[in-house]
Amino acid sequence: MKMEKQVLELAKQNGFKCTIARPSVVSGRLLDYPKYITNSYIVFYAIGAFFSKMKALYKEVGRVRILMNPEGGLNIVPVDYVARAILRAADTEQTQLNITHTKSVSIKYLLTQMFKKCGIEGLEFVSEEPKDKSTVEALFYKTIGNQLASYSISKKHEFESKLVRDLLHDVEEPDVTSVFKDLYDFAHNINFDNNNVYYSNHYGYDWKSIDISPITTNTILTFFHFLWICNFHIFIQKDFFVYFLCWFCNMFVYKFIATFTKSF
């Protein structure tokens, strides 16, 4: 808050307008295409990414006890909603704008959906941090757990969103709860890495339909690129028989990715 006051004072001294915009937790797009994508998959995405890695590392994760207020919620706003609010706020005399959603997403619902996607069945909600932690629980509370705690144990409350809704009166407020599963599943399916969206567009397969572990995904793509590098090298050497043989292998791998990845 001190820094914000200094910025506003600096703007006043130099005769230009300034608006302090405060978005809540930012998620992927829900208004514009491509849907669900965002620049960085953090906060609640980071929780899912953590347990996705744990599932890949440990065959049996076991129970995971998470400290939580059952009534707690996370105020999530899509990145394209935030962008529109900032653009419109620039044409007003407002000095401060909270870019929030009128309704929060239940922490309990949010975690349940993420654990289902990760394939972990031992989720439990507790009122006190467990003392006899498992290996996974210890890692969780030592790392990402502190970040989650500030949201999960807070009391239920809704943010004042009248000003931002007045600014975006002609923009329908997205129902984040109803689309949260698709929103999170997209990030999980691309392994929380937008480079994998590039692979989807470039090679023609749909990452939304793929539900495989990050290790399997990276292995397939690494092998695919290795074949293309070999192909190019052989072409330079003008060994056309081997070139076409490698080309055939490339197409086989491509078809495998596009058709059979759902079986993993």
Indicate the residue among 189, 213, 235 that finishes a domain: 189
When pLDDT is cut at 50, 70 and 90, the band that residue 14 belongs to is confident
Q: Give the pLDDT of residue 220.
A: 55
Element (H, E) at 245: helix 240-260
List Cα–Cα distances, 256 to 52, 180, 200, 246, 253, in angstroms. Answer: 24, 30, 14, 15, 5
Q: Can you give the residue range of the structural domain that contains 98?
A: 2-189
Rounded Cα distance, 104 and 35, in Å: 20
Q: Is residue 54 part of a domain?
A: yes
Task: Write down which residue in 154, 189, 224 finishes a domain.
Answer: 189
Arithmetic mean of pLDDT over the chain:
80
pLDDT of residue 205 exceeding 50: no
Residues 166 and 255 reside in one and the same domain: no
234 and 120: one domain?
A: no
Model confidence pLDDT, tens digit, residues 74-86: 999 999 999 999 9
Q: How many angstroms separate the CA atoms of 70 and 133, rounded?
A: 21
155: domain CATH number is 3.40.50.720
Establish if 197 belongs to a structural domain: no
Residue 31 lies in a domain: yes
- Looking at the structure, tell me whether residues 66 and 173 fall in a common domain: yes
What CA–CA distance (Å, rounded) separates 119 from 26? 25
Check if the beta carbon of residue 88 is closer than 8 Å to that of residue 169: no
Count: domains in the chain = 2
Q: Is the pLDDT of residue 256 over 50?
A: yes
Give the mean model confidence (pLDDT) for residues 54-64: 89
pLDDT tens digits for range 218-246: 555 555 555 555 555 554 555 555 555 65
Give yes or no: residues 8 and 97 share one domain: yes
Residue 117 vs residue 157, higher pLDDT: 117
Digit-coded pLDDT (tens) for 122-171: 999 998 899 999 999 999 999 888 777 777 777 766 778 899 999 999 99
What contacts 131, CB < 8 A, 6 or more positions away?
none
With respect to residue 194, please indicate whether it lies within any of the assigned structural domains: no
Indicate if the pLDDT at residue 261 is higher than 50.
no
Secondary structure class of 18 (helix, strand, coil): coil
Do 71 and 112 share a structural domain? Answer: yes
Is residue 127 domain-shared with residue 57, that is, in the same domain?
yes
